[in-house]
Chain A
Amino acid sequence: MELALAPETLARWQFGITTVYHFLFVPLTISLAALTAGLQTAWVRTNNEKYLRATKFWGKLFLINIAMGVVTGIVQEFQFGMNWSDYSRFVGDIFGAPLAFEALIAFFFESTFIGLWIFGWDKLPKKIHLACIWIVSIGTILSAYFILAANSWMQHPVGYRINKERGRAELTDFWHVLTQNTALAQFFHTITAAFLVGGAFMVGIAAFHLARKKHIPVMRTSLRLGLVTVVIAGLLTAISGDQLGKVMFKQQPMKMAAAEALWEGQNSAPFSIFAVGDVAKGHNTVEISIPGVLSFLADDSFTSYVPGINDINKAEQEKFGPGDYRPNIPVAFWSFRWMIGFGMASFALGILGLWLTRRKFMLPPGMRTGEDEVPHLVLFKNKALSPKLAKCYWIVALWTLLFPLIANSWGWIFTEMGRQPWVVYGVLQTRDAVSPGTSQGEVLTSMIGFTLLYAALAVIEVKLLVKYIKAGPPELTEADLNPPTKIGGDDHDDADRPMAFSY
């Protein structure tokens, strides 16, 4: 009981809960901002009303989601100081700068222009209003970049020196921190995975409506946009994940070994589908594996040597002194598999969906459908799926929207838990990073407080999402179709006209 309530444990749980929760909203925000901007661009360019309806529909869901992303992000900015003050003192010289950059450059962009976008429908000319959502989208991506550069420094510290006198790490090369391969690989992987989330979200909701034959033109377009996004993002997520794995193998070999629960180093290291390890004895008791695959994931060759957990633990003991340098092996092992499994399952279902709903490619003319028809689901040349199977597909597509979110969460749990016991790999251990002055009661209060608040907000948020998803795309009004030509709104005769949007 004493151990379970150690301030370090509590602080870690709080960080885990608040950060995983925050990151449910982040990838959806990043991808939906860009996808909504894309749909609005289509509206501005083609004047086709279905695009405007789609923009309003997805834009509304985007707003419900970003509100949660923004408010849960505030906690992140202050949590380091509250629960991790020794961490903050030790790394602030390096870690603080990307955070400040993020606020100054990205947050201001996002928050200011999101306000302009929400309230600007009747205040801004069409193209300027469109620019606002693009700026929001750029803001979300910049924000991701700075925060991932900061996180990458924890995975692989570069561009610093240790100042023994002041007992802290000091920045020597900021450019290196921003552009090291860890940061680039993490950014590539995180952004593509974010688009996998947004794509699957669109597919799932479009499938929900198409299965009921509702809002067909808008949902057809959305389904297609979603599926294409899933397939491209899925492919890029796999490629970037592979790259990130290779970077990780070089920089954090322990994490790679833990991901596989590979206890002893070996050539042609296998990748196991399933394993039950006996941590106390340092080996696996049950295992099903494919030889060579781990070697390939780590080093691009099926025969390379991959060091095992015990080897690396010994090496780190020699380097850093006595101690246990192993992360929680079952967590690392399973989170790695769930990340890949859920991510790639959504990718595969995306490919299947794109094939089933194809418009012309290898599709006989008789099977083609018009703008206002639900696409036939054609597996083989001439025959659409039976209604029963079609219904199954739509249901699977709907639930798939959760897969990439689950994969994202496990990915972060893997990358952070796999780095333990280090908070900054090879430089600072997590147990030395907590606030020495805060009491157990304080940390417990805040952990319980945030957990309860977040749980309540989750219920509210999901209910709202469901309400707006079910409502479908809104009908357009005269005002929607006649945006102002002047900034600040046209000088109408009727100055008392209600605002296009109000809280």
Chain B
Amino acid sequence: MELHDVWFVLIAVLWTGYFFLEGFDFGIGVLTKLLARDRKERRVLINTIGPVWDGNEVWLLTAGGATFAAFPEWYATLFSGFYLPLLIILVCLIVRGVAFEYRSKRPEEKWQTNWEHAIFWTSLIPALLWGVAFGNIVRGVKIDADMEYAGTFWDLLNPYAILGGLVTLTLFTFHGAVFAGLKTVGDIRERARKLALKLGPVTAVLALCFLIWTQIDNGDGWSLMALIITVVALVGAIGAIAAGREGWSFALSGVTIVAAVAMLFLTLFPNVMPSSLNDAWSLTVTNASSTPYTLKIMTWCAGIATPVVLLYQGWTYWVFRKRIGTQHIAEAH
């Protein structure tokens, strides 16, 4: 296994971390309209992710930075090629971050409900678009001999990619509902559980269609294994939430995300961005990667820093382990 293969795995790990963590906080954002009945319940939901959403988002920045460093060609082609979807995601993430931080800073109802609308939409749209983006990466897009994206914005909105987007949207929302069940107390906890039970089967059907389509197009034995794990874990997560075991259900919905991302990357390898025009024009771990020297330095850095990050982020979740209910939200604002 050469260093660029290691980095392919590490990039996959960073995206997995991002989708696992920001997955449930996108889900919580969507649930502010699906689950919460009033402003107080919306605040309960927002506060379940209050201390952690910012740290979760850094997984994306790290995935971006690491792709730049380890696979500059991949970074360049992907971000210049998927220009408009990425622009929309960036605008959403900007508004979303400000919305969390500023919503409580004024007491007026209008101010707060405006930011709540913002939180809903800016969670829903990226949750959908990331799936569309990854669908396109796996499927292959028009990349020319100069590694430049030669398609248009509309090419990105093909049925396979849109199905991928629906999978991430529903899966993240399900993941968020399970998380809400795990982190809240009282009436909202019970309703989160029931909503998860409704979302689960929809998610499962969509995910199954998308992953089988992926398997038929690009799959091999390994990806089939990941597919089976994804489906089993998702069914398990639904079963666990039905049995009222929120902790187990959350762990299993996490495994679902990990296995699904793993499957996408398994079908991708050794390409990083296949070209639909000509196989020879595909970006691969070899022709898109940095020099072994740079990769070596990056490996040291990631090898030391990532476990430390996991430790202190894990500690954060432990510090805020108590469940929250409407009674914990101060009346003041």
Tell me which of A75, A100, A104, A497 contacts B328 (CB under 8 A).
A497
A79–B223 alpha-carbon span in the complex (Å): 33
- Cα of A95 to Cα of B65 in the assembled complex, Å: 10
Does any Cβ of B come within 8 Å of A364's Cβ?
no
Report yes or no: B77 in contact with A85, Cβ–Cβ below 8 A. yes
Taking the complex as formed, is A390 at the interface, i.e. its CB lies under 8 A from any CB of chain B? no
Report the bound CA distance from A437 to B104 in whole Å: 42
**Chain B residues, CB < 8 A from A88:** 68, 72, 75-76, 79
Contact across chains for A438 and B72 when beta carbons are under 8 A apart:
no
Chain B residues closer than 8 Å to A488, beta-carbon distance: 318-322
Known: A77-B65, A88-B68, A89-B76. A467 touches B81 (CB 8 A): no
> For A464, what are the chain B residues with a Cβ–Cβ distance below 8 Å?
102, 105-106
A172 at interface (Cβ–Cβ under 8 A)? Answer: yes
Q: Is A299 an interface residue (CB 8 A)?
A: no
B72–A446 touching, CB < 8 Å: no
* Shortest Cβ distance from residue A80 to the other chain B in the assembled complex, whole angstroms: 7
Select which of A74, A80, A496, A503 is within 8 A of B46 by beta carbon. A503
In the complex, whether A71 has a CB less than 8 A from a CB of chain B is: yes
Q: Is B277 an interface residue (CB 8 A)?
A: no
Kindly state the separation between the CA atoms of A393 and B61 in the bound complex, as whole angstroms.
45
Residues on the A chain within 8 Å of B75, using CB: 80-81, 88, 92, 96
- A99-B65 contact given A63-B101, A70-B97, A467-B106, CB 8 Å threshold: yes
B256 to chain A, nearest CB (A): 25
| Complex Cα spacing A112 to B62, Å | 14
Binary flags per residue of B232-248, CB closer than 8 Å to A gives 1, else 0? 00000000000000000
From B102, B149, B290, contact of A96 by CB (8 A): B290
Contact pattern, B 305-329, Cβ under 8 Å of A = 1, otherwise 0: 1100100110010111110110111
Against B, the Cβ 8 Å flags (1 = close, 0 = not) of A114-130 are 11101110011000000
- Measured between beta carbons, the chain A residues less than 8 angstroms from B71 are 92
Cα distance A284–B242 when bound, in Å?
A: 81
Distance, CA A127 to CA B102, complexed state (A): 27
Cβ-based interface call for A282 (8 A): no
* Residue numbers in B under 8 Å from A361 (CB-CB): none
**Contact assessment for A449 and B50 in the assembled complex, using a CB-CB cutoff below 8 Å:** no
- A102 touching B65 by the CB < 8 A rule? yes
- Residue in B43, B90, B305 whose CB lies within 8 Å of A105: B305
Question: Is B103's CB within 8 Å of the partner chain A?
Answer: yes
Asked whether B54 lies within 8 Å of A115 as measured between CB atoms, the reply is: yes
**Which stretch in B130-138, B156-164, B208-216, B292-300 binds the other chain?**
B292-300
- Chain B residues with CB under 8 Å of A63's CB are 101
Check if B81 sits within 8 Å of A437, measured CB to CB.
Answer: yes
Indicate if A13 sits at the interface (CB-CB under 8 A).
no
1/0 per position for A441-454, CB-CB distance to B under 8 A?
01001100110010
User: A483 to nearest B CB, angstroms?
Assistant: 14
Q: A464 vs B330: C-alpha distance in the bound complex, in angstroms?
A: 21
Q: How far is the CB of B109 from chain A (nearest CB, A)?
A: 15
In the complex, A442→B305 CA distance in Å? 37
Inter-chain contact A89/B66, CB cutoff 8 Å: no
A-B contact count (CB 8 A): 255
Which of A94, A103, A445, A487 has the most chain B CB atoms inside 10 A of its CB?
A103
Contact partner of A97 among B87, B106, B294, B305, CB < 8 A?
B294
Q: How far is the CB of B185 from chain A (nearest CB, A)?
A: 9
B149 CB contacts on chain A under 8 angstroms: 437
CA distance A289 to B184 in the complex (A): 70
Bound Cα distance A9, B221 (Å): 50
A-contact 0/1 string along B278-308, CB 8 Å cutoff: 0000000000001101100110011001100
Are A107 and B62 in contact, CB atoms less than 8 angstroms apart?
yes
Beta-carbon contact of B316 and A99 below 8 Å: no
Structural contact, A438 and B83, CB atoms closer than 8 A: yes
Q: Which of B51, B52, B66, B325 has the most CB of A within 10 A?
A: B51
Task: Name the interface residues of A422-465: CB closer than 8 Å to any CB of B.
Answer: 435-438, 442, 445-446, 449-450, 453, 457, 460, 464
Give every chain B residue within 8 A of A78 (Cβ-Cβ): 64, 79, 86, 90
Whether A108 contacts B62 in the complex (CB less than 8 A), given A85-B76, A457-B98, A503-B50, comes out as yes
Judged by a CB distance under 8 angstroms, whether B205 is at the interface is no
- Are B329 and A496 closer than 8 Å at their CB atoms? no
Which residues from chain A contact B50 at a C-beta distance below 8 Å?
Answer: 115, 118-119, 502-503
Q: Are B328 and A499 in contact (CB under 8 A)?
A: yes
Q: What residue of chain B has the Cβ atom nearest to residue A442's Cβ?
A: B83
**Nearest CB of chain B from residue A336's CB, rounded to whole Å:** 31
- Asked whether any CB of chain A lies closer than 8 Å to the CB of B145, the reply is no
Contact status of A453 and B94, CB under 8 A, knowing A436-B148, A442-B84 = yes
Interface residue count on the A side (C-beta < 8 Å): 76
Q: Are A100 and B68 in contact (CB under 8 A)?
A: yes
A93 proximity list for chain B (CB < 8 A): 69, 72, 290-291, 294
Residues of A within 8 A of B294 (CB): 93-94, 96-97, 170-171, 174
Chain B contacts for A103, CB-based, 8 A: 58, 61-62, 64-66
With A108-B313, A123-B319, A436-B148 as given contacts, are A460 and B64 in contact (CB-CB < 8 Å)? Answer: no
Q: Is A68 part of the contact surface with B, judged by Cβ < 8 Å? A: yes
Q: B61 touching A77 by the CB < 8 A rule?
A: yes
A498 at the interface (CB under 8 A from B): yes
Indicate whether A86 reaches chain B with its CB closer than 8 angstroms.
yes
Chain B residues positioned under 8 Å from A172 (CB to CB):
293
Chain B residues whose CB sits within 8 angstroms of the CB of A457 once the complex forms: 94, 98
B41 within 8 A of A: no
B330 lies within 8 A of A453 (CB): no
Residue of B nearest to A66 (CB): B101
Task: Say which residue of A81, A112, A487, A497 sits within 8 Å of B80 (CB atoms).
Answer: A81
A97, A436, A489: which contacts B298 (Cβ < 8 A)?
A97
Closest beta carbon of chain B to A281's beta carbon, Å: 41
Instruction: Tell me the minimal C-beta distance from A230 to chain B in angstroms.
Output: 28
Q: Is A502 a contact of B98 with CB atoms below 8 Å?
A: no
With a cutoff of 8 Å between Cβ atoms, the chain B residues found around residue A389 in the complex are none
A481 part of interface (Cβ distance < 8 Å): no
Contact status A99-B98, CB under 8 Å: no
Say yes or no for A101: interface residue by CB 8 A criterion.
Answer: yes
Tell me which residues across on chain A come within 8 A of B66, comparing CB atoms: 96, 100, 103-104
- Chain B residues with Cβ under 8 A from A95's Cβ? 68
Q: By the criterion CB–CB under 8 Å, are B97 and A92 in contact? A: no
Is the Cβ of B43 less than 8 Å from the Cβ of A502?
A: yes
A357 contacts chain B at the CB level, 8 A cutoff = no
* B293 A111 Cβ-Cβ under 8 A: no
Q: Specify which chain A residues have a CB less than 8 angstroms from the CB of B61 in the assembled complex.
A: 73-74, 77, 103, 107
Known: A95-B68, A100-B70, A453-B91. 7 other contacts (CB 8 A): A80-B75, A92-B290, A96-B67, A107-B61, A108-B312, A437-B148, A499-B329
Pairs of residues from A and B, 7 with the lowest C-beta to C-beta distance, nearest first: A92-B72, A81-B79, A96-B69, A96-B68, A67-B101, A85-B80, A115-B51
Could you list 16 A-B pairs, sorted by A, with CB under 8 Å? A75-B94, A82-B83, A88-B76, A89-B73, A91-B72, A99-B68, A104-B306, A108-B305, A111-B58, A171-B293, A435-B80, A450-B91, A453-B91, A496-B325, A502-B43, A502-B329
Report B's interface with A, CB cutoff 8 A: 43, 46-47, 50-55, 57-58, 60-62, 64-73, 75-81, 83-84, 86-87, 90-91, 93-95, 97-98, 100-106, 146-150, 290-291, 293-294, 297-298, 301-302, 305-306, 309, 312-313, 316, 318-322, 324-325, 327-331
